[in-house]
Amino acid sequence: TFTDIAPRGLAPGERRSWLVLQRFVEGFFLHPVGLEVLVDHRDPDPQRWAVQQLWYNGHYFSSPQELAERYEQGTLAVARLAEPPSRQLFSSYEPRGRFATGTPTEVHGAKVCEPQGRRYWLRGNQLEYGGWSLAFRLRSSAGLQLFDLRFNGERVAYEVSVQEAIAFYGGHTPAAMQTKYMDAGWGMGSVTYELARGIDCPEAATYLDAHHLYDADGPVRFSSAICVFELPTGVPLRRHFDSDFQGGFHFYAGLEGQALVLRTTSTVYNYDYIWDFLLYPNGVMEAKVHATGFIHATFYTPQGQRYGSRVHSHLLGNLHTHLVHYKVDLDIAGTGNSFETVDLRFENISNPWSPGARPHVPPARVGSGWHSWGSPGRGGEMGPPPAPAPTHAGLLPAPGNGPDPAPAPRRYHLAVTRHHENEPTSSSIYTQNDPWEPLVSFEGFLHNN
């Protein structure tokens, strides 16, 4: 079998894809055979597609004929791979091994339960819990979206949603150095397969189906694609032991730590993303993503060790980074909002109560780095409004050679812009195949404010 790499070329209009050939066994992602092929498939007639280059075991070849001739002449460095075992293959999910500490693996560990029933309310896509209320849906392109988030009746955000997940790789093989996955282009929100009770979510969770009309003739039902459950956090929400400093205490007080979890998954080829939104009873909302599944790996060569780690005899785990983009559409205490970035630094002052001493104290905000939203609409306690949006902080350096083959969201830790109805998403399903001239330009959102 094979894995195909994107983007498909180095400039707009190209359709050239590197294919990584692999053994067709369980976990084939971890079984490259050392051969990668560059196919030009720009012509709509597959009969006119052509192999442009090949890479085998660290060397490039201009044609299959050149590779075959080198093999016949005995001048080809052949990678000899052992036959994979029929059982307990290293890439399989078959349970094997035991802990050196003797911890039993044949019995269940801790479980989540609801001894007095559910404390959340769910009707359709409307969810309420601990002061929170919201609506949610599963968008086929990118995944979970939350709408009209309110806490104790006050709106916190109009929308909080996943927009894009990007993975950039480095490597010595051509496929590795070309890999820049933008997962909305692979229908990240539509690959939300059934959740396993007791593993993906607790048995006591509520499970919901999803329907997608994506690359199909009609709507397709995905059973148990979303789950909702209350989770003990394992730490108190707050606590205090009030000592009398004589071996006793005046009181102890504490609140159990719990959160409501809204979860789905996306299996984008080799990767499995677990997407969580957590609602806490103190008014905090948290977005989390866990990356699991199989790594995107390439064939090991000594030159490749500069770009990753050798994880098996003929396998290199390539260095890469995951970037996830979220949209948060909100107003703070009204619509008259402003935004600034501030920082803290130590200030050398004279100590007013001890002449001659010069303590270093953190002063008022200066510089940039700490993000502050404000609204003067509540009694003016926010002070004078700072510089207006757009403001973006944490700029990451973009590549200096040639067009940047990535959507602009990857360049910023945080980007702030005014809301426009014609800018609903920061990426699109088409960005993967033409990142140089994207249909949705997030950079344009910032410049055209």
**pLDDT tens digits, one per residue of 383-426:** 444 333 333 333 344 444 444 544 555 677 888 888 888 889 98
CA distance 225 to 134: 19
Residue from 237, 235, 413 nearest 323 by CA: 413
Instruction: Report, as residue numbers or ranges, the catalytic residues.
Output: 183, 271
Q: Are 53 and 288 in contact (CB under 8 A)?
A: no
Q: Are 30 and 312 in contact (CB under 8 A)?
A: yes
> DSSP per residue over 370-425, as a string?
EEEEE-TTTTTTT-S--SPSPEEEEEPPPPSSS---S-GGGGEEEEE----TT---
The pTM score is: 0.88
Least confident of 205-214, 255-264, 277-286, 368-377: 368-377
Average pLDDT score over residue span 329-354: 80
Average pLDDT, the chain: 88
Q: Which residue has the higher pLDDT, 293 or 407?
A: 293
371, pLDDT greater than 80: no
Residue from 420, 416, 424 nearest 446 by CA: 416
Least confident of 6-10, 44-48, 334-338: 334-338
Least confident of 225-239, 307-321, 416-430: 416-430
Average pLDDT score over residue span 53-68: 97
Per-residue pLDDT at 331? 84
Average pLDDT score over residue span 169-185: 94
Per-residue pLDDT at 357? 77
Average pLDDT score over residue span 180-186: 94
Helix (H, G, I), strand (E, B) or coil at 47: helix
Per-residue pLDDT at 373? 60
Helix (H, G, I), strand (E, B) or coil at 70: helix
CA distance 37 to 39: 6
Per-residue pLDDT at 96? 83
> DSSP per residue over 259-285, as a string?
EEEEEEEEEETTEEEEEEEEE-TTS-E
Average pLDDT score over residue span 2-21: 95
Q: Are 381 and 334 in contact (CB under 8 A)?
A: no
Average pLDDT score over residue span 136-143: 95
